[in-house]
């Protein structure tokens, strides 16, 4: 379940493009996230994918005909438009975009789009030359000017066999936009939260680095959760294999020193800093400009201490640290909290295989500087992120008041 999607009514408009198959995946991810998805298909969309396929995924009737006596729309043709929290048209063909720009209402989808007060996302999918056509560009501009969010299209392989711009964006990108729009008035709206993620890399020479096992998953989950709750979110991240979260300001860094500079910059206008990054405590004293050669049987590396980013971040800001420990969890975490002047510390036992590095779940203790302790069971990192942000929200409110 994704809290920002829970019980939200989303109308998924599907128009006639070969990319219809990707809309099945989107319908599935939205439904899994807890949304109630009403699929509205154009007649040509039903030539690519059957309504049965969408109905099987969403467990809701699929609307294809304005005059179908079985359909809710035939009774009250603006019913879907009124109950929708958000409409997303994916894939949107050049023809359906033109109809939207003109304000036509000659099928269930265009009728719903005209009648709704909810935000609308349009994800175009078409041949590259069609997309570049001035008529399509003008129509998209009209929609944009009216407040519609246009997502994509992507560049790449097209159904015609050519390369070009016209591919429907992938599901995670659409999910990011949907979540950001639905969450924009959430309980963190109006605040800026800086999150750090990943393991810093400290170069030894042009080919080698010293790093650690951090996957970045916890930090990315925190950034997405903060965005879903309406915060302006800045993610300062060391290299990871994770894609950039949508609607989050992503700042890429490599070393601890770079991370320090970017965290300082971002926190100058922020109300909270959540340091989920695994910052290298030491870096090679000298990074060799040339690749080191193995010219002796042993070698000694001289390391120098990195600055402590959390300790050095000062100002009226809520500071949250993470403590990855292999023994004396609570005691070590409490000492770290005091030493670094934190408001909150999230401690996990890295020797526990279920919550160690790279895992999708985490079992943590959240300790507050006032002695409060929350001992959470094993849960997905997304859920941990929300529990941490609940505390951050309360701390930010206390700081303000
Ligand atoms: N941290 C930091 N700057 C550093 C090292 C750590 O801001 N140079 C932050 C981490 O992002 C984390 C918290 O401090 O939120 C605790 O990190 P951890 O590595 O557990 O603690 P250390 O201070 O490095 O202590 P030790 O390695 O001795 O346990």
Alpha-helical (H) ranges within 183-283 are 217-228, 256-267
Ligand 1 centroid to residue 226 C-alpha, Å:
22
What is the CATH number for 79? 3.40.50.1950
Q: Catalogue the active-site residues.
A: 212
Q: What is the pLDDT of residue 74?
A: 53
Ligand 1 atom nearest to CA at 345? 15
pLDDT of residue 113: 96
Which CATH number does the domain housing residue 392 bear? 3.40.50.10300
346 lines ligand 1 (CB under 6 A): no
Distances in whole angstroms, Cα of residue 166 to Cα of each of 65, 92, 129, 144, 227: 28, 11, 8, 17, 28
**Domain that includes residue 216, residue range:** 192-400
DSSP state of 180: H
d(CA 206, CA 209): 8
Per-residue pLDDT of the chain (401 residues; tens, 9 = 90+): 999 999 999 999 999 999 999 999 999 999 999 999 999 999 999 999 999 999 999 999 999 987 676 665 554 668 899 999 999 999 999 999 999 999 999 999 999 999 999 999 999 999 999 999 999 999 999 999 999 999 999 999 888 888 999 999 999 999 999 999 999 999 999 999 999 999 999 999 999 999 999 999 999 999 999 999 999 999 999 999 999 999 999 999 999 999 999 999 999 999 999 999 999 999 999 999 999 888 889 989 999 999 999 999 998 999 999 998 888 999 999 999 999 999 999 999 888 877 767 788 899 999 999 899 999 999 999 999 999 999 999 999 998 87
CA of 265 to the centre of ligand 1 (A): 19
Q: Does residue 322 have its Cβ closer than 6 Å to ligand 1?
A: yes
158 with 242, same domain: the answer is: no
CA distance readout (Å), 346 to 110, 126, 269, 317, 389: 49, 47, 24, 17, 11
Same domain, 196 and 178: no
Contacts of 148 (CB under 8 A, 6+ apart): 100, 120, 121, 122
Tell me if 279 CB under 6 Å of ligand 1.
yes
d(CA 177, CA 10): 13
The number of beta carbons lying within 10 Å of the beta carbon of residue 302 is 8
The answer to whether residues 129 and 209 belong to one domain is no
- pLDDT on residue 71: 64
Distance CA 283, CA 301 (A): 10
CA angle 7, 11, 13 (to 5 degrees): 155
In a domain, 145, yes or no: yes
Compute the distance from residue 188 Cα to the ligand 1 centre, in Å: 26
Residues 204 and 341 in one domain: yes
Any residues with CB less than 8 A from the CB of 175 and at least 6 apart, and which? Answer: 26, 29, 30, 33, 246
145 lies in the same domain as 276: no
Distance from the first to the final alpha carbon of the chain: 33
Taking the mean position of all CA atoms in its chain, how far away is CA 69? Answer: 40
Question: Is the domain of 199 the same as that of 275?
Answer: yes
Tell me: do 140 and 208 sit in the same domain. no
Question: Ligand 1 center to residue 256 CA distance, Å?
Answer: 11
pLDDT of residue 69: 65
Task: Specify the pLDDT at position 224.
Answer: 98
pLDDT given at position 258: 98
The ligand 1 atom nearest the CA atom of 323: 20
Q: Which of 182, 207, 232 is the last residue of a domain?
A: 182
The pLDDT value recorded for residue 72 is 58
List the residue whose alpha carbon is closest to atom 17 of ligand 1.
Answer: 323
pTM of the model: 0.94
Pair (345, 209) in one structural domain: yes
Q: Is the CB of 324 under 6 A from ligand 1?
A: yes
Ligand 1 atom, smallest distance to 320 CA? 15
**Beta-bridge partner residues of 167:** 154
Beta bridge partners of 318: 272
Distance CA 89, CA 374 (A): 42
Are residues 46 and 172 both part of a single domain? yes
| Cα 340 to ligand 1 centroid, rounded to whole Å | 9
Is residue 281 in contact with ligand 1, taking CB distance under 6 Å?
Answer: yes
Cα of 123 vs its chain's centroid, Å: 17
Bridge partners of 235, per DSSP, are 195, 250
Ligand 1 and 197: CB distance under 6 A: no
Is 3 a domain residue?
no
């Amino acid at each position: 379940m994704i809290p920002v999607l829970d019980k939200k009514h989303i109308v998924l408009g599907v128009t006639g493009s070969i990319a219809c198959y990707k809309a099945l995946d989107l319908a599935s991810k939205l439904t899994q996230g807890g949304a109630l998805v009403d699929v509205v298909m154009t007649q040509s969309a039903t030539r690519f994918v059957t309504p049965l396929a969408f109905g099987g995924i969403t467990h809701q009737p699929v609307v294809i005909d304005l005059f179908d006596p079985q359909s809710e729309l035939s009774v009250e043709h603006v019913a879907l438009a009124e109950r929708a929290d958000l409409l997303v048209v994916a894939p949107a063909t050049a023809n359906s975009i033109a109809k939207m720009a003109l304000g036509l209402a000659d099928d269930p989808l265009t009728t719903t789009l005209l009648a709704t007060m909810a935000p609308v996302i349009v994800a175009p999918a078409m041949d590259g030359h069609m997309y570049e056509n001035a008529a399509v560009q003008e129509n998209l501009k009209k929609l944009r000017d009216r407040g519609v969010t246009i997502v994509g299209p992507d560049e790449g392989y097209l159904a015609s066999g050519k390369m070009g711009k016209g591919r429907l964006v992938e599901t995670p990108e659409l999910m990011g936009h949907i979540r950001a729009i639905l969450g924009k008035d959430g309980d963190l709206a109006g605040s800026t939260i800086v999150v750090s993620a990943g393991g810093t890399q400290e170069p030894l020479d042009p080919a080698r680095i010293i790093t650690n096992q951090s996957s970045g998953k916890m930090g990315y989950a925190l950034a997405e959760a903060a965005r879903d709750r309406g915060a302006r979110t800045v993610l300062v991240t060391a290299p990871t294999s994770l894609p950039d979260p949508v609607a989050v300001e992503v700042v890429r860094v490599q070393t601890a020193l770079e991370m320090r500079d970017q965290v300082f910059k971002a926190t100058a206008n922020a109300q909270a800093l959540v340091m989920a990054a695994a910052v290298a405590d030491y870096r090679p004293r000298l990074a060799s400009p040339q690749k080191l050669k193995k010219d002796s049987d042993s070698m000694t590396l001289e390391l120098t201490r990195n600055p402590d980013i959390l300790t050095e971040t000062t100002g009226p800001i809520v500071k949250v640290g993470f403590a990855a420990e292999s023994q004396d969890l609570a005691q070590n975490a409490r000492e770290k909290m005091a030493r670094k002047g934190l408001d909150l510390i999230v401690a996990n036992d890295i020797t526990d295989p279920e919550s160690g590095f790279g895992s999708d779940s985490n079992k943590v203790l959240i300790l507050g500087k006032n002695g409060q302790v929350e001992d959470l069971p094993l849960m997905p990192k997304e859920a941990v992120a929300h529990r941490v942000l609940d505390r951050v929200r309360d701390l930010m409110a206390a700081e303000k008041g």
